[in-house]
Amino acid sequence: MRIVGRLPDARMQITVFENDGRFPVQFELAGITQIYRFRKGERLSNFGHLREYVDEPFRAAVLRQFREMQRVQAEVLQRILPSTDEGDALPDIV
């Protein structure tokens, strides 16, 4: 798999790869990653074509999915991280 290019976006990093007749497109935001794979074909044969298809409506949908992923991650972290109730607090040192 090799990097074909990056698509500019101020909200997230978008990296386009080429691999075995496909274009994996990786979106990264705050430590979370989404990858969408597109098969090469007549209407999608190069980076320029892909740039047209990864348009604003597609990017907006990816951002909505990131928000949901962040919500799920936050719920899991709430279960993993210990709570800070007063019984666990260290005594004050005078």
Is the Cβ–Cβ distance between 59 and 19 less than 8 Å?
no
Is the Cβ–Cβ distance between 31 and 40 less than 8 Å?
no
Determine the average pLDDT of the residues in 25-37.
97
Alpha carbon 67 to chain centroid distance?
A: 10
pLDDT at 83: 64
* Percent of the chain with pLDDT strictly greater than 90: 78
Is the Cβ–Cβ distance between 88 and 82 less than 8 Å?
yes
Determine the average pLDDT of the residues in 63-91.
82
Quote the pTM value.
0.81
Topology of domain 2-80, CATH? Viral Envelope Glycoprotein; domain 2 (3.30.67)
3-state helix, strand, coil in the chain (%, to 5): 35, 35, 30
pLDDT at 3: 95
- Per residue in 49-75, pLDDT (tens digit) is 999 999 999 999 999 999 999 999 999
- 30-44, 47-61, 76-90, range with the lowest pLDDT: 76-90
Residue 89 has pLDDT above 90, yes or no: no
